Structures are given as structure tokens and as C-alpha cells.
Amino acid sequence: MVSRRTFLKLFGAALVGGVGVVAYAFGLEPLVRLSITKNQVKTPKWRYGPPLRIAALADFHACEPWMNAHRVRQIVAKTNALKPDVILLLGDYLSGMRMVFRSLPNDELAAALSHLSAPLGVHAILGNHDWWEDEAAQLRGGGPTAIGDAMKKVGISVFENDVLRLEKAGQPFWLAGLADQWALFPNKGLTRGRHVGLDDLDGTLEQIDDDAPVILMAHEPDIFPRVPDRVALTLSGHTHGGQIRLGGYSPVVPSKYGNKYAYGHIQENGRDLLVSGGLGCSMIPVRFGVPPEINLIEIS
């Protein structure tokens, strides 16, 4: 039998430990930690040419204090220091949280991102929060979006069902980027689940006119079962790895597939998907077991 004194000691230790975990999840992991996650993707679809180094940044959710301009500039500097061939931004630049001092203005965020630099450029897609936080775009039932325009003004290309042919060392590849799958609230047309998507996977890939490898940017990973073998690599964000992740499992994942496409490098039927854990927080400012990350991907 445990004595009263022993019980109180154990209870006190558990209480202190619990407070420490909460402080870590609200303070240290989302605000301080920043991982460089290196991913190697080897695929026969990358048939020729040298390996391509991609830096992928997802889900900034820019706001104060959780993702202020100083934090964004730190991420930009660390990304540039990796010397990638190309930098890809995977959506959700706007916050969408209530527990904030203020959301970062579009021009301030775009100015911080404008310092990203890579030989093959900086290219972006939009995420659901970039649409949800844009009242004018919601009323129109379509773009342009304010954050998309702000990014274009500083030289970042924004893809919405678009493709671009690039080359490294004389070897071509295609970059394709989908419009968001959850862009509009349901009162703007036929719904897909809770929201209306503007993505057009077939129409996007039909713009490709040769057999060079394809890298696809799609904010939500739920599109992956429909991605054809033609695509060498699909890159997504959105899930944040669940924001809370223990032993490879996330209790809550914003995906109809649950943990199947929650995080990391997923291989399925000879196809490759990389889901970034992202950088910021959505809904609540908590991260535990999935620290903010910059993904450095080498495809060969």
C-alpha cells in the first residue's frame, strides 16, 4: 500500500511534469524549435540528370506571437543556407487562429518571404486558410486572393492549376501546382465535404507536353490517391503532422484518410508523397512530437 506521503510526492511530480509538458507544447516546440528534415526520394521516374535539391516550406500561419516576421525571417535565412536548387511553398500563409495578438499583414509577410532565393526560383501554391481568411475572394467565389497578389508582387510565382517547365544542368522537369481543394465555403457551389475545391488535377497535367518528370504541389494530401504514375513526387502540407504526434500516431488529422497521409514520406503503388509537418499552428497554438520543420528533399 502506498503511504499518504508517497502518494503526495508522486502526485506532485506528475503535476509538475504535466505543467512542463504543457509549457513545452505551447511555448518551446512551436516558438523555438526548428528542424531541418532531410528526405531522400529515389524513383525510376527521375530517369536522367543530376539529383534535384528542393526546400519545401509549408503552413506558416503567420501571426504574433506564434509566427511573427522575425521568426519568418529566421526560417528564410535557414532555408537559403541549405542552398537548394528550388524553393517550394506549400500553402497556408495566413493564420486562422483566434489565440493571437494580431495576424501578420500580407505585405509584411510577403516582404519577409521575398528574401528566399534559389537558382530555379521560389514557387508557391495557396492553402485553405489563404482562402478562408479572404472575405473578398469568398464573396467572389474565386481569386485573386490578397496573399497571392502580395506574393506575386515580390517575385514569387503562385500556381493555381498551372505548370512550369524548368531545367537543371540541361535536364528538364515540370513543376505543377494545384489550386486549393478546400478553397470556398459550401454556399459557393457544389460541395466536396464541407468546402468547395478549385483544384483541377486532370486539367493541370494536360498542360504538360513532353515526358520530362513532374513534381506536383498540392496543399492537402487527400488528392494523392488520384495522382497518376506520371508524377514523380507529390508534395503537400496542411496536416501539420496532426500537431500532436506520439509514436507515429496523431489523434486528430484534417484529412478524410486520417493518419494514412498525416506526415512524412509515403510510398503507395510505386508513387511517392511527401507530407511536410509544416512550420506554424492551426486552430490552437500547440505542437508536440512534430516540431516545425524545413524539408530538404533530394530526388534522384
The full set of domains in the chain, from first to last, is 33-299 (3.60.21.10)
Query: Mind listing the pLDDT tens digit for each residue in 276-300?
Result: 999 999 888 888 999 999 999 999 9
pLDDT per position as a tens digit, 203-214 = 999 999 999 999
Contact between residue 256 and residue 217 where contact means Cβ atoms under 8 Å apart? no
What is the C-alpha separation between 159 and 177, in angstroms, rounded? 5
- Under DSSP, is residue 41 helix (H, G, I), strand (E, B) or coil? strand
Report pLDDT digits (tens) over 58-79: 999 999 988 999 999 999 999 9
Q: Where are the beta strands (DSSP E) in 138-213?
A: 157-158, 162-168, 171-177
Residue 8 has pLDDT above 70, yes or no: no
Mean pLDDT of the region 243-252: 90
Separation CA 172–CA 204 (nearest Å): 18
Model pLDDT, residue 257: 96
**pLDDT tens digits, 173-228:** 999 999 999 999 986 444 445 789 999 999 999 999 999 999 999 999 999 999 99
Amino acid residing at 194: R
3-state secondary structure of 217: strand
pLDDT of residue 99: 77
> Of 25-29, 95-99, 129-133, where does the model show the most confidence?
129-133
What would the mean pLDDT of 93-99 be, rounded to a whole number? Answer: 87
pLDDT classification of 27: cutoffs 50, 70, 90: low
